[in-house]
Structure 1
Amino acid sequence: MENPMRPTFLTAAVLAAFALPAHADTIIDRANGYTLTAAGQLQRFSSLAFDDLGRVVAVGSEAETAAALPRAEHIDVQGKTLLPGLIDAHGHVFELGEIASGVELYSPTSLPGAVKAVADFARAHPKNAWIIGFGWNQEIWKLGRFPTAAELDMVVRDRPVLLHRVDGHAIWVNTKALEMAGVTRETADPAGGKIERDASGKPTGVLVDAAMELVNKVVPLPTPAEARATLDVALAQLSKVGLTSVHDAGIKVVQDDIYRDYADHGKLTTRVYAMIGDTTADFDELSKDGPLKSYANDVYALAAVKLYSDGALGSRGAALLAPYSDMPSTKGLLFYPDAEMRAKMSKAMKAGYQVNIHAIGDAGNHQILDAYAQLIPQYKNVELRHRIEHAQVVTLEDIPRFKQLGIIPSMQPTHATSDQNMAEQRVGHERIKGAYAWRTFLDQGSKIACGSDFPIESPNPFEGLHAAVTRQNNANVPVGGWYKNQAMTMTEAFRCFTLDAAWAAHQEKVIGSLEPGKWADFIVVDRDIFKISPEQLGKTQVLQTWMGGKRVYKK
């Protein structure tokens, strides 16, 4: 049944026209400007002109822009560096906003510190029915094991506690949460998931991948007001770090309704290219009219589907072709048998959607490449630019298949620098040669779409640029970089966070660089990222963010 709350295309366009404030023709002067040409070459400029609709008219010298728009208002940025707005090709927008309202577990460096953070939060929020948190990582705590429900029970027994692992592929819960979800020793592991258990078979409090849904399904959904407040928090963060466009990797009907409403009323301060999460009921509802390629002046699009082949490396849910080097009893988890995965992909392709699939382990990537090899010729749709999200551990034999099949590797530079503390332990010296292999992909001619996977990593794209160029974490460790032979050049990193990220969303003709006819999405920053030491990239501060010729953030 048609959703009566979702506006038609005509209604949306009319509303957007009234909602967006009027612009004046504007020229930005005295800029230390950098952009990319359509061919991806770096171009310098000192002045940028855009019209009252928010589209670029001219890029070049001050004389050239003044001639193009002789009656424009002028803004002097006093020699500051001006760049195209940066694009994150893989994030989770609502989840980014949710973190602000939960237990922050990224900071604790030990299990006792994490337990104390939960206790402090519970004490400060006595009315919260559930204690929700984000960011724990047993690898940093050097436990050699997962944490347990018993350790949470010591500080919270009367309310359910649910804590998301840093990679989003495992949850740590207390006994109350297990009881509310009905998870017992008799509960079977679901396909594509695992319940961690003790020697007697009793659940210990950690659920991996598909098993997370056993508890997630009993967590109350946010109210519409809470969801909008969450989005407001996320949008403010994205503008602050200079992101003018993001690809939201997996949404449902409720998020689509909110995005369209925000687009209609001029409240989306970052463009969103959304992917429908899975091909189940939400897809059936959202795909009734086919892919939504552009909405409200390219502010929103819903033209892709997000699927999962496997889990994550940190929780050993990523599917490997051979056993884990540090746990030979497991190869990880493929979420679906080959035939079922192909059926999901086929359903999305048949409806005309770009298919973007999470694959971290070499078995996960191999399964998806095999499926693409069968389905792309069948549907003759290589032009949809299908993607593999993460492409994290890939056999050296499979990497060339990305180029051969026209598959975009959508990769997150900070995953490499975050995972350096455990990745080689997980896969060993040989398999690491095809892991986080940006240089290998670039040298074969693949276009990499860069992102962060926020909130699993920071949404700050300058931290991503830093990781891409140095192969170091924010503390510039290790000295010389981790497998530095796979690093990008500065221009390559800039391109994968701008033009190539736009290309991965079929938006390279409207955003991704500052060229006449494209939207005036740009940022002003406090340093010249092409001249500073690469080790300083992550410290770059955004001074202004503009989207469609409208300033949406000022420091």
Structure 2
Amino acid sequence: MNQSRPEDTPRTPLTLRNVRLPGTETLLDAQLAESRVVSLRPAAAGAPGSLAGDSLDAAGRFLIPGLWDHHVHFTQWVIQRQRLDLADTASAADVLQLVRGALASGQTASSGVVGYGFRDGLWPDLPTLRSLDEATGSVPVGLISGDLHCIWLNSALQRKLGVCTDSSGLLREGESFAVMDQLQDPAALTTQIYAQTAADAARRGVVGIVEFENADNIGQWPLRTAAGVDSLRVEVSVWPDSLQAAIAAGLKTGDVLDERGLVTMGPLKVISDGSLNTRTAWCWEPYPDVDLGHPHSCGMQTVPIEELQQVMRQARDAEIAAAIHAIGDRANSAVLDAFEALGMRGVIEHAQLLRWEDIPRFARLGLTASVQPEHAMDDRDVADAFWAGRTERAFPLDALNRAGVPLRLGSDAPVAPLDPWVAMAAAVSRSRDGRRAWHPEQRLDPATALAAAVRGGTAGGAAGRGTAGAGHLVRPGDIADLVVVDSDPLGDPAGGRLREMGVAATLLGGRLTYDGIS
């Protein structure tokens, strides 16, 4: 398999005129050729025609490296737009009312109703199979939680899929993932909707994603880029049930998988525990004594550690990296132990709830923390309820950064929007919707957040001193994956305006994937 990254397509040289770098006022011309930044020079005083090739006048806007979302479930993000939106519900009763309305409208699919986005952690009432059946009758209905870790099914859908729940009507973790995979309508997942969703990401400055969909990413994404889904670079993951096939094919992390050079082989993905909202995140201490509807008082270890180490070892020996989901503090301790036992570097996905003593281990073991700051805004009230007295070490972004741990920002879309500006805003402000900042001592500064949102720019400084270095700056010789934005992303220390950052243009290898200037 090709280890190099071929150029996307040859193109005419392009000059971005009158750009500024973050934190500066000097106007520059950025000259692009052969998919790279050739030079950054003081802005030419002459007419545009005096510059080689085409040119685009940025009119003093700011030039930054292209943004990455380092944790995406792309098909789930694509299809959630077609599902009944449950995000604003605050109770089981609210959900049932929306479902009844959807059924009464007559606009639901003949195959039934799929909803997405409820968060039941703080509901005053509990979901039950009986109440869902009473609201839905014989129409198959499946309702997916906002964190993707549980699903509420009525009896009609259970009969259709051959599954069975307890009296809650809920399935969690592995059982729920298997059901979700069966709720996707292949006819609705057209090349056009993938292309439009990728283009929408480009409009927010995104040039690349790390794909963690539980699917045949290795086979499907090259077909998509060949069919014209070409607005993004995609690093694809492989899950344990497909690992042996990837090894047999001789694939290694970093291999180029498509003719366009847009799709590369990424890591092995393993889920080691659950989520906080579903109260399945594996923790050292039990959750409060409430009726969780399941017997796991400390959450769930979803894969035995011996099995986790075995599959990680297979990946390591085949030169495939590892990205391991760990949310609870006990899960993070166990995953750190696994990496240490194997002498293996990689990424811990989420690193959401941590023990203080485990934070320096990330840096000592050479591990990266792939974090989703917007989850802190979604989970703050749940954490205050179910992790009371420990929330100072929930989403401890600054502590990780000060310990010298490289950070990557992501969304876990559709759990949060596929929009790195949302992630950066949450990381810098620790606030949303006008609320007081939640544990503001764990905020990142804007330069560190921006560096963690680009590929190659990672936060985490030498000797434990957090610094973005130059990871947020464009330099000659860089691949021309670039974004032109309306204002200085470093000019808002509080982070309140980052969510609405105006993006004027996005370039992938020097090719415009979004043009809001011309």
Q: Give the TM interval when normalised to the shorter protein.
A: 0.7 to 0.9
* Contact in 1 for aligned 2:140/2:157 (Cα 8 Å): yes
- CA drift of 1:492 comes to 0.8
Q: Which shows bigger deviation, 493-502 or 163-172?
A: 493-502
From the superposition, tell whether residues 425 and 396 of structure 1 become closer, same or farther in structure 2 (CA, over 3 Å).
same
TM-score, normalization by structure 1: 0.82
Instruction: Give the counterpart letter for 1:373 in structure 2.
Output: E
* Contact in 1 for aligned 2:73/2:413 (Cα 8 Å): yes
- Per the alignment, residue 409 of structure 2 pairs with 450
From the superposition, tell whether residues 206 and 125 of structure 1 become closer, same or farther in structure 2 (CA, over 3 Å).
same
Deviations 1:504-539 (A, max 9, x none): 9xxx9xx97522232211222233322246222212
Deviations 1:373-414 (A, max 9, x none): 1111xxxx54xxx01000011111111111111111111111
The partner residue of 1:498 within 454, 458, 468 is: 454
The partner residue of 2:476 within 496, 510, 516 is: 516
The partner residue of 1:134 within 116, 136, 146 is: 116
- Per the alignment, residue 54 of structure 2 pairs with 73
In 2, Cα distance between equivalents of 1:494 and 1:107: 29
From the superposition, tell whether residues 77 and 70 of structure 1 become closer, same or farther in structure 2 (CA, over 3 Å).
closer
- Per the alignment, residue 553 of structure 1 pairs with 514
Instruction: Give the counterpart letter for 1:483 in structure 2.
Output: H
- Per the alignment, residue 176 of structure 2 pairs with 212
* Contact in 2 for aligned 1:27/1:65 (Cα 8 Å): no
In 1, Cα distance between equivalents of 2:398 and 2:46: 38
SS at match of 1:212: helix
- CA drift of 1:360 comes to 0.2
Whether 1:544 aligns to 2:511 is no
- After superposition, residues 284-433 of structure 1 pair within 5 angstroms as 284-287=244-247, 288-291=249-252, 293-295=254-256, 296=259, 298-325=261-288, 327=290, 330-376=297-343, 381-382=344-345, 386-429=346-389, 431-433=390-392
- After superposition, residues 172-211 of structure 1 pair within 5 angstroms as 172-184=152-164, 197=166, 203-211=167-175
* Contact in 1 for aligned 2:409/2:453 (Cα 8 Å): yes
In 2, Cα distance between equivalents of 1:225 and 1:145: 34
SS at match of 2:269: strand
Instruction: Give the counterpart letter for 2:450 in structure 1.
Output: F
From the superposition, tell whether residues 65 and 530 of structure 1 become closer, same or farther in structure 2 (CA, over 3 Å).
farther
* Contact in 1 for aligned 2:450/2:472 (Cα 8 Å): no
- Per the alignment, residue 464 of structure 2 pairs with none
How many residue pairs match? The answer is 496
Residue ranges of structure 2 left out of the alignment (5+ in a row): 461-467
Instruction: Give the counterpart letter for 2:434 in structure 1.
Output: N
- CA drift of 1:540 comes to 1.5
The partner residue of 1:108 within 89, 93, 96 is: 89
- CA drift of 1:305 comes to 0.8
- Per the alignment, residue 156 of structure 1 pairs with 136
Q: State percent identity of aligned pairs.
A: 24
- Per the alignment, residue 17 of structure 2 pairs with 29
From the superposition, tell whether residues 336 and 292 of structure 1 become closer, same or farther in structure 2 (CA, over 3 Å).
closer
- Per the alignment, residue 190 of structure 1 pairs with none
In 1, Cα distance between equivalents of 2:396 and 2:98: 36
In 2, Cα distance between equivalents of 1:65 and 1:164: 58
- CA drift of 1:91 comes to 1.2
* Contact in 2 for aligned 1:160/1:174 (Cα 8 Å): yes
- CA drift of 1:155 comes to 3.3
Whether 1:246 aligns to 2:209 is yes
From the superposition, tell whether residues 45 and 178 of structure 1 become closer, same or farther in structure 2 (CA, over 3 Å).
farther
CA RMSD in angstroms, aligned pairs only = 3.0
In 2, Cα distance between equivalents of 1:420 and 1:440: 18
From the superposition, tell whether residues 180 and 264 of structure 1 become closer, same or farther in structure 2 (CA, over 3 Å).
closer
- Per the alignment, residue 107 of structure 2 pairs with 125
- CA drift of 1:48 comes to 4.4
Instruction: Give the counterpart letter for 2:117 in structure 1.
Output: G
- CA drift of 1:126 comes to 4.3
- Per the alignment, residue 482 of structure 1 pairs with 438
- CA drift of 1:265 comes to 5.3
In 2, Cα distance between equivalents of 1:301 and 1:94: 18
In 2, Cα distance between equivalents of 1:215 and 1:503: 37
In 2, Cα distance between equivalents of 1:513 and 1:120: 50
The partner residue of 2:35 within 47, 54, 58 is: 54
- Per the alignment, residue 169 of structure 1 pairs with 149
